[in-house]
Structure 1
Amino acid sequence: MRLRATLLGALPLACAAALLTAPATAAPGAAQAGDAQAGAAAGTHRTRLYVPDANPGAYRQAVDLLRQKKLRDAAGILAMARTPHAVWFGDQSPAEVEREAARVVREAARQRAVPLFALYNVPGRDCANYSGGGASTTAEYQAWIDAVARGIGGHDAMVVLEPDSLALLPSDCGQDDGEGTKTKARYAEVNYAVDTLEPLARTKVYLDTGHQGWHSVNDIVPRLLEGGVERATGVFTNASNYHTEDANSWYGTLISSCLAYVDTGGDSADCPNQWWPRNDAQAWLDTHVDTDPALMKHFVTDSSRNGRGTWTAPAGKYTDAQEWCNPPDRGLGARPTTATGDPLHDARLWIKIPGESDGLCLRGTDGPEDPERGTVDPAAGAWFPQQALELVRFAQPPLF
């Protein structure tokens, strides 16, 4: 907090003016202010979203840019840092996470805003890869979820529950036994979290779908059902990824519609998926799904880094291009809002904290440098100044 106060007090007038005119830099939680008229016209409820403290690396980078007299870049980094984004929990003890969750919901209440929590502590998370870790046992995870629930209490909260938990099961990465023990445990853990958090008076829980370039609708819907989606508010998609907002919202629509179709006795194998021609898929939906959107499962999307869409590696250059891992020249996407104009689409959110690294990206080489960048990428979750500046400069829509 001291660094933030020192930095903001030292801003030159030109930089301060740029900050004040940027849509994402008004009072905390006011990233939705510019959406009010559009939201009202679309008949969409607009909720103020919580602005947490940013990664300290953002403020350090802004100070450095100011010293270099790169005022616009500094303003951009600060605008990005002051935009509503998720608060991630995953490595805290139950006592710590309860205390931190309680602090966040109290602070959000003072902002008259709704916080977004990304819970990331399921056993065997990320198949023990870049973001490996998580609770050691199911019982340990359940105790941790109980602590999160106590911290949230009766306050407003949105929860994106365990990114990659359903899209990347233990059985998907060869870490299960012949009986599927770890995968069964994963489903039990996700169900426990849904049954603990969703009943809280003002909490909405969304389950993992990966993204539209990964699992087909026909594949992810059975996983969602096994994970207890019927008792959750809905699903989230594109967490920490780069797919366009159009692709994400269509994927979410297809999943919500397929869940409604299955709920009326249909088979998920018959549902259109994201690779069908869109007109054909829409015709199928018009014929087979007539459920009131208010009664369907809703979805949220991650627009934090999808302003320029996904990155395509040069043909034949890498044995494993890792398109998801710190791709170059990406940009911030649409600002977070609940005014989407779509009754199924609850919000565009910044789930991934833009500016934080995806991990050490080697793209099939021996490393240690990322061959696409010529540098050693920071560890997952650490601040990545090079990528942060790219996200600001290539933001779509622009920050200023």
Structure 2
Amino acid sequence: MQAPRRRRRLALTGVAVGALAAGGLTFASANQALAEEGCQVDYNVVSSWGGGFQANVVITAGEAINGWEVEWDFPSGTSVSSAWNVDWNVSGGHFTGGDVGWNSTIASGQSKEVFGFIGSGSSATPGEFSVNGDVCGEVTEPPTSEDPTDDPTDDPGNPGDKVDNPYTGANVYVNPQWSANAAAEPGGDAVANEPTGVWLDRTSAIYGNDSPTTGSMGLEDHLDHAIENGYDLIQIVIYNLPGRDCAALASNGELAAGEIDAYKNDYIDPIVEIQGQAKYADLKIVNVIEIDSLPNLVTNVSPRETATANCDTMKNNGNYVDGVSYAVAELGALSNTYNYIDAGHHGWIGWGDVNPQYDNFNASAALFGSLIGENGMTADDVHGFISNTANYSALEEPYWEVDQNVGGQALNQNANLPWVDWNDFNNEKDFTQAMREELIANGFNEDIGMLIDTSRNGWGGDYRPTGTSTSTDPVTFVDESRIDQRFQKGNWCNQAGAGLGERPQADPEAWIDAYVWIKPPGESDGSSELIDNDEGKGFDEMCDPDYQGNIRNGNNPSGARDNMPISGHWSSEQFQELLENAYPPVN
């Protein structure tokens, strides 16, 4: 059993937690008040720049609140240009903001970050606040323990006291923002109550931003909403490494290759602080750690012909290894968290024993194992691994085996069979079972479990085969038998013809903790053409439907959908296609 680790705590009242301003400085100011009327308001200026600032507002309830309206008077000349999670109005410098439904309730004694805004002019704290007409007064400090080591907000508990499979019997969180988008689509109400991942793909996502699909609610908003609505497990995607997605451009992030300190101090540390709050002690938090990162250090670095300059940089500077191990160690020390590291998918790192010259499988497992000991990370900090995150690889291929003999030769030994291409696997179930054993051999605990993202790997619809091909030509046999209809397994962006896969469920196989929908169906992988944006996301030719490929996808057409927005943004057309091609079908 791993001994609990103690860590520093950022103040959670009256200061901004981990928000950055220009030059790496943290700006914070607050007005706190608790009167007999029972209101407290924290006005936190979390960043500031020439003429502008961002502030977040926290309300603490003396007695439970169901519906709130907060008011104050700005200093002269201050105005608001945008706000999120609030119905707001400014008149003559007087600000009025009300709840937007899902954030209307605040439990007795609970502090809740209810909204944020962008202002211009003076960032000085207003002199007086009122909530529901009651003017807030002086702060009343809660009683403290005689023994400071007993403070539940400072002690994450014993991370060894965790269940074997957090998904077993769990009521898994349904993101209300994704659910609303899905329910608004024709037929979408059939899946709108499925649990999906909450993506923290920018530092601002921790606090809530104005993204049209994944923003608005910050991490604490989601965790509070989970508790208030009776959920006992929530899935969070940790996704903001420096030099992110070094072999793809569509999801490049906000941090440059060398900004590892910003990643640790301003991204991971605030997430740890929030997840470690005592009010979440009974909420299981599954953290999916940095998709599409570590396997790149095996497959897309020199001297491989698939190498990219960005991936060479990230291997040489060590910041993927440093960042992932730091995130896993810090989050793993909490008693309520379950870390699953991204392990790619069979169509990416499935090459191993069949073709040792291009051994991605064993090399990736060894790389994962090398993280143990970095930044204090232990095997106990890792609950498992996840495959196929935000990808399309089939859960299983029911009509053919990868080593099946067709035309006098095993399929995965045939140099003229591009779809198989010497891969040891043709599906995620076999891949995860074998990868789990290899991970254990590289130092991870014997009780680790696997997750598989099945959000878009159903491959149903009219093109789904119903049986095994009778052809004796290997290429024809595989093409007529396979359910995965992509041109090539390296195609990852907005694949045309894809469908929803198995619905989220716990314990589908002995080695699999759950099938999950970490990628919210309907949210884009990347734009079909260059679109200017302020999210740090670039344009990748693999998202262009006219692109004819590169060495990383065997110089095949991209297979991408047209008219797609930047990654993470909603596409009604894609969601409708996923519904239509779902397998099992959506009733």
TM-score, with structure 2 as normaliser: 0.48
C-alpha spacing 1:250/1:91, structure 2 compared with 1 (3 Å): same
Q: 1:147 aligns with which of 262, 270, 279?
A: 270
C-alpha spacing 1:222/1:373, structure 2 compared with 1 (3 Å): closer
Distance 2:220 2:365 in 1: 33
- Aligned twin of 1:311: 485
For the 8 Å contact 1:49–1:337, the answer to whether it is kept is no
Distance 2:238 2:314 in 1: 27
- Aligned twin of 1:163: 291
1:126-141 correspondence to structure 2 within 5 Å: 126-127=245-246, 129-136=249-256, 137-141=259-263
Question: Residue 190 of structure 1: CA displacement?
Answer: 0.5
- Aligned twin of 1:365: 547
Superposed CA deviations along residues 135-187 of structure 1, whole A, max 9, x for unmatched, are 341111112111111111134200110101112238453226689432x1210
- Aligned twin of 2:569: 382
For the 8 Å contact 1:330–1:394, the answer to whether it is kept is yes
- 1:296 lines up with 2:416 in the alignment: no
1:245-256 correspondence to structure 2 within 5 Å: 245-246=395-396, 247-256=427-436
C-alpha spacing 1:248/1:321, structure 2 compared with 1 (3 Å): closer
C-alpha spacing 1:240/1:310, structure 2 compared with 1 (3 Å): farther
Specify the code of the residue in structure 2 equivalent to 1:139.
Answer: D
Secondary structure of residue in 1 paired with 2:288: strand
For the 8 Å contact 2:200–2:206, the answer to whether it is kept is no
Q: 1:223 aligns with which of 367, 388, 396?
A: 367
Distance 1:49 1:303 in 2: 16
- Aligned twin of 1:186: 320
The number of residue pairs the alignment matches comes to 310
Specify the code of the residue in structure 2 equivalent to 1:235.
Answer: F
C-alpha spacing 1:94/1:383, structure 2 compared with 1 (3 Å): closer
Distance 1:298 1:376 in 2: 38
For the 8 Å contact 1:307–1:397, the answer to whether it is kept is yes
Question: Residue 335 of structure 1: CA displacement?
Answer: 0.8
Larger gyration radius, structure 1 or structure 2:
2
Distance 1:179 1:395 in 2: 37
Distance 1:384 1:348 in 2: 23
- 1:175 lines up with 2:307 in the alignment: no
- Aligned twin of 2:239: 120
Question: Residue 78 of structure 1: CA displacement?
Answer: 2.6
Superposed CA deviations along residues 295-341 of structure 1, whole A, max 9, x for unmatched, are 3321111000011153333xxxxxx9962211112110111122324
Distance 2:169 2:428 in 1: 20
- Among all aligned residue pairs of Structure 1 and Structure 2, give the percentage whose two residues are the same amino acid: 27
C-alpha spacing 1:324/1:95, structure 2 compared with 1 (3 Å): closer
Distance 1:78 1:200 in 2: 36
The structure that is strand-richer by fraction is 2
For the 8 Å contact 1:48–1:113, the answer to whether it is kept is yes
C-alpha spacing 1:295/1:59, structure 2 compared with 1 (3 Å): closer
- Aligned twin of 1:34: none
Structure 2: gaps of 5 or more residues: 1-84, 88-99, 102-166, 210-216, 302-306, 351-360, 373-377, 397-426, 460-482, 529-542, 549-556
Distance 2:432 2:455 in 1: 17
Superposed CA deviations along residues 95-135 of structure 1, whole A, max 9, x for unmatched, are 62798222222222232331101111000111260000143
Structure 1: gaps of 5 or more residues: 6-43, 63-73, 265-293, 314-319
TM-score, with structure 1 as normaliser: 0.69
C-alpha spacing 1:393/1:347, structure 2 compared with 1 (3 Å): same
Specify the code of the residue in structure 2 equivalent to 1:226.
Answer: S
Question: Residue 196 of structure 1: CA displacement?
Answer: 0.4
Distance 2:452 2:497 in 1: 21
For the 8 Å contact 2:546–2:558, the answer to whether it is kept is no
Specify the code of the residue in structure 2 equivalent to 1:173.
Answer: T
